């Protein structure tokens, strides 16, 4: 069943005729810089004016302000609140759920454990490493149990090993929570490892690929020279 349905969405940098994401699905959005990936996330989040319809879990959210859409957003630069500890960053993300104190604390503990950041709960973002910040930001994005989670190249600043570890950790938690997710990346390895399906965006337009039809390194040169292969050929030719 489709959880996110976007129809005839038109914004300044993005046009989407139709986009459907199933409940609990991890859809990866990939494309070159300037293709409009972040713009699409901003439109879905409610930060950019647009026309068209967005339905999320049966609710029409296109006319709602950002804070009422129940969409989580993990920005590329994370934006953890620097004046709050890790614990407080998670707590504020949960406050709209109006949980009882005991349950709130239990859920924060669960998230801290899932992302292995229990030891950091009293630290401020300025006191922890890049990889740790990434884990905190992921935990915070999930803490509010959003209907849709948007991630804008969250692992792009990290070294290969840390990024790989966090990818697997994220995928595991995403499946455990059953979170419908749209994950933006420019890394094809990441897309293949994470995505149930892959969307490719170029010049503000989307094209959908199933996992099976995603080209692997060796096949790329044999594929027809459409925009997809043109886009991916360059990084693999290195």
Partner 1 sequence: MIRMFYGILAVCCIGVLGVLYALAAQVGIFDIFKILLTPEARFALNLSLITSVSSVGIAMILGLPVAYLMARRSFPGKFIVDSLLDIPMVMTPLVTGMGLLFLLGPNIAGKWLQKMGIDFLFTPAGAILAQTFIATPLIVRSVRATFEGIDEKYEQAGAMLGLSDVRVFFSIVLPMARNGILAGAVLAWARTLGEFGATLMVAGASRMRTETLPIAVYLNLTSGEIELAVTCAWLLICLGVVLLMALKWLGVRQKAMNY
- Token pair 């043109």 is found at 230
Residue from the set 31, 32, 144, 195 that interacts with partner 1 by CB under 8 A = 144
Question: Residue 165: which of 196, 130, 197 has the closest Cα?
Answer: 130
Residues 84-143 close enough to bind partner 1 by CB under 8 A: 92-93, 95-96, 126, 140-141, 143
For partner 1, the closer of residues 157 and 205 by Cβ is 157
Write out 109-165 in H/E/C secondary structure: HHHHHHCCCHHHCCCCHHHCCHHHHHHHHHHHHHHCCCCEEEEECCCCCCCHHHHHH
* Closer residue to partner 1 (CB): 157 or 164: 157
Nearer to partner 1, 81 or 160 (CB): 81
How many residues sit in the footprint of partner 1 (CB under 8 A)?
A: 27
In the list 73, 115, 231, 232, the residue contacting partner 1 (rule: CB under 8 A) is 73
Residues between 4 and 63 that touch partner 1 (CB under 8 A): 45-47
* Paired residues of 9 in beta bridges: 16
φ/ψ of residue 200, rounded to 5? -110, 135
CB of residue 80 to partner 1, shortest distance in Å: 8
Q: Which is nearer to partner 1, 60 or 221 (CB)?
A: 60
* Strands in the chain per DSSP E: 2-10, 15-22, 26-30, 51-56, 59-60, 71-74, 148-152, 181-185, 197-202, 205-210
Q: Which residues sit at the interface with partner 1, rule CB under 8 A?
A: 45-47, 65-68, 70-73, 75, 77, 79, 81-83, 92-93, 95-96, 126, 140-141, 143-144, 146
């Amino acid at each position: 069943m489709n959880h996110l349905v976007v129809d005839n969405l038109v914004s300044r940098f993005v046009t989407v005729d139709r986009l459907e994401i199933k409940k609990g699905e991890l859809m990866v959005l990939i494309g070159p810089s300037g293709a409009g990936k972040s713009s699409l996330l901003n439109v879905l989040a409610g930060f950019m004016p647009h026309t068209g319809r967005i339905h999320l879990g049966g609710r029409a959210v296109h006319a709602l302000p950002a804070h009422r859409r129940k969409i989580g957003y993990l920005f590329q630069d994370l934006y953890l609140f620097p004046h709050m500890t890790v614990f407080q960053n998670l707590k504020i993300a949960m406050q709209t759920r109006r949980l009882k104190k005991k349950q709130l604390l239990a859920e924060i503990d669960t998230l801290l454990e899932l992302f292995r950041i229990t030891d950091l709960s009293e630290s401020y973002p300025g006191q922890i490493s890049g990889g740790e910040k990434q884990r905190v930001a992921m935990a915070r994005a999930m803490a509010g149990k959003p209907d849709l989670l948007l991630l804008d190249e969250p692992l792009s600043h990290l070294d290969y090993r840390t990024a790989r570890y966090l990818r697997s950790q994220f995928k595991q938690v995403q499946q455990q929570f059953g979170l419908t997710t749209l994950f933006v990346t420019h890394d094809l390895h990441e897309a293949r490892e994470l995505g149930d399906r892959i969307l490719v965006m170029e010049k503000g337009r989307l094209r959908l690929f199933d996992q099976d039809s995603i080209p692997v390194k060796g096949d790329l040169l044999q594929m027809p020279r459409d925009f997809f292969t043109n886009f991916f050929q360059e990084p693999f030719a290195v």
